[in-house]
Amino acid sequence: MNSLIQQFFNIEEKNGDVHFHDVYFLHEQPSWSWEEACQKAPQLPRPWFELSRISSSDRIEFVSALWLDKLPYHPKSYPALVRFFQRLDDIGIILHRQSEEEFFTVEMVYSLADNSSFFRGLPPCIEEEFQRIKAEIPYDLPRDFEAFCRIHHGFGKLSELGLLTIDEMVEERENVIQSVLEANSILRSGDTLIDPNLLIPFYESFGLASYQCFYADWYPASEMGNIYLSGIDYTVSDITDRRTWAEHLAFPTFVEWLVYYLEGMTLFV
């Protein structure tokens, strides 16, 4: 595990600040049984517990295979996902809580070998949560997004979990619509008017009130594409020219956006 992870999951008091009350790296608790671990964190998936019982290299190999199996193949995204896992030195299952009264939260943490960053993912979405969003939002979400939710329901980099859970998506969609109406702003992509009711936020930029959103009136491939909405000036990605889509943070598929995010917000190479 790289040093940034150790610094973030801190239980030592520094300047009066304690990040967490308790933190356990599950692979460092070989004596724990499944029953003991599950008692601390009832939402701990059994496969994640089993993952913590094998070596770091096997953990990386197993999770990499899971991603590549679950996510639809794309000629650009597939090799980029392979590169991402090649950059890792470990994947760990971490249990943490901020007070003694709480159950533990469970996360899967992806450690970059160059010590530049780390990523964090919550346990998979359950079917009832998919049914909830289908009742709240009258559009079919992209299949690759639903596939990723079956790997992680909530995901992010460093201290932020910017990839929203389904409940958060429903809430933020209402917030986006209300904010646009209150600002009396007209959203445009090039010369095309954008109805804010057709935007479904799935990622929030930390501290900016800006979102990557599925756009229910744009199907550049076989699935709903996604565009960027700035909460600062209420502009959205210009999707008029395919050659500049990535430059304007417009992506035909969720997985292409995900690769962009994993690669540190840089364009495909």
pLDDT beyond 80 at 4:
yes
**What pLDDT digit, counting tens, does each position of 98-148 carry?**
888 888 999 999 999 999 999 999 999 988 888 887 888 888 899 999 999
Please report the pLDDT score of residue 57 as a whole number.
97
Q: How far apart are CA 216 and CA 226, in angstroms?
A: 9
Determine the average pLDDT of the residues in 215-244.
92
Amino acid making up residue 129 = E
Q: How far apart are CA 20 and CA 117, in angstroms?
A: 20
For residue 8, the surrounding DSSP H or E stretch is helix 3-8
Q: What is the DSSP letter of 194?
A: E
Domains of the chain, CATH where assigned:
3-122 (no CATH), 124-269 (3.40.1580)
Please report the pLDDT score of residue 15 as a whole number.
58
Please report the pLDDT score of residue 149 as a whole number.
95
Q: How far apart are CA 48 and CA 208, in angstroms?
A: 33
SS3 202: strand
Say what percent of the chain tops pLDDT 90: 68
Q: What is the dihedral of CA 222, 157, 171, 137, to 10 degrees?
A: 10
Please report the pLDDT score of residue 247 as a whole number.
92
What pTM was estimated for this model as a whole? 0.92
Contacts of 52 (CB under 8 A, 6+ apart): 26, 27, 29, 59, 92, 93
Sequential DSSP letters for 59-100: HHHHHHHHHHHHSPP-TTHHHHHHHHHHTEEEEEEEEEESST
Q: How far apart are CA 71 and CA 28, in angstroms?
A: 30
**What pLDDT digit, counting tens, does each position of 134-191 carry?**
888 888 899 999 999 999 999 999 988 999 998 899 999 999 899 888 888 888 888 8
* Closest C-alpha to 141, from 205, 210, 216: 216
Query: Can you count the helices (H) and strands (E) in the chain?
Result: 9, 11
